[in-house]
Amino acid sequence: MSENHVCRSCPVRDRALCVSLADEELCGLRLIARKRQVTRNQIVCWAGEEALICANVVTGMFKVCASAADGRDQIVGLLHAGDFIGNPSPSTNRFTITALTDSTICVIPRQLLENFMSAHAKMERLLLDRTHASLEDARLRILLLANRSAEARIATFLLDLTSRSIDGDCTTIRRERQIFNLGLSRGQLAEILGLSSETVSRGLSRLKDNGLIALPGGRTIAILDKSALTVLAGAS
């Protein structure tokens, strides 16, 4: 019983895959799961290695990276609180997953999760839905990268972040005023958007000059004119 207290107070109890489980079912999962702190830049999955663990992101933010042949990294996805890492079926990691901020994850050995899920169909269905949603996100990012200008990419990404940011998430400072710390360097932003860091910097500067956003300093961004950003995001 006391085991469940850990889960009941978990910030993502009602957003991670665990939402599909009743409190009493959670006991079984709690026995095989373990919370783990990871520090910024720490890697939790290596591309090319066998996937031995799965995990839920409890706090923080991770990047999913593919290494290009020229050695450069490309961020192909982001993981936020509540998102799931890995696949219950045996597999080889195709991407490297790295913490962008100091974070907490709830780690579960893959094999054990595979067995657990077989006995909890609701959870498996939910994971399927989540994976499907991730696929849709990835496809929307394809749309973004394929044909849109640098400014449109930046505007779209900022809007995405505002809609995705979560109270209590370290990426958000004051949601109501649309001021948030994106926790990403210009270079990382460039990796996500498929641009050079200089182009990202120029784009942000222009948005600032036009009064759409403010850059109070550091990695903080304030959205001043959301509707104008939306227009920009839609324009080619």
Partner DNA sequence: CGGTCGTTTGAAAATTCTCAATCGGAGTGG
Partner DNA sequence: CCACTCCGATTGAGAATTTTCAAACGACCG
Q: For residue 74, what is the DSSP state? A: E
| Binding flags for DNA, 137-176, as an x/- string (CB under 7 A) | ------------xxx-------------------------
Whose Cβ is closer to DNA: residue 39's or residue 149's? 149
199 binds DNA (CB under 7 A): yes
Residue pair 106/58 in contact (Cβ under 8 Å)? The answer is yes
Give CA–CA dist 22/108, Å, rounded. 18
CA 157 to chain centroid, in Å, comes to 13
Residue 2's alpha-carbon distances to 9, 21, 31, 33, 218, in angstroms, are 12, 17, 12, 15, 42
Q: Which of 23, 133, 198, 211 binds DNA (CB under 7 A)?
A: 198
Q: Which residues bind its own copies (CB under 8 A)?
A: 64, 66, 68-70, 72, 74, 76-77, 87-89, 91, 94-95, 118, 121, 124-125, 127-129, 131-132, 134-136, 138-143, 145-148, 191, 193-194, 233-236
Q: Which of 17, 195, 212, 213 binds DNA (CB under 7 A)?
A: 195
Taking the complex as a whole, the smallest distance from the CB of residue 218 to DNA amounts, in Å, to 6
219 binds DNA (CB under 7 A): yes
Structure token digits, residue 124? 């498996």
Residue pair 221/180 in contact (Cβ under 8 Å)? The answer is yes
Whose Cβ is closer to its own copies: residue 90's or residue 168's? 90
Taking the complex as a whole, the smallest distance from the CB of residue 105 to its own copies amounts, in Å, to 19
Residues 6+ apart with CB under 8 A from 23: 4, 7, 8
Give CA–CA dist 45/64, Å, rounded. 9
Residues making contact with DNA (CB under 7 A): 149-151, 185-187, 194-199, 201-202, 204-205, 215, 217-219, 236
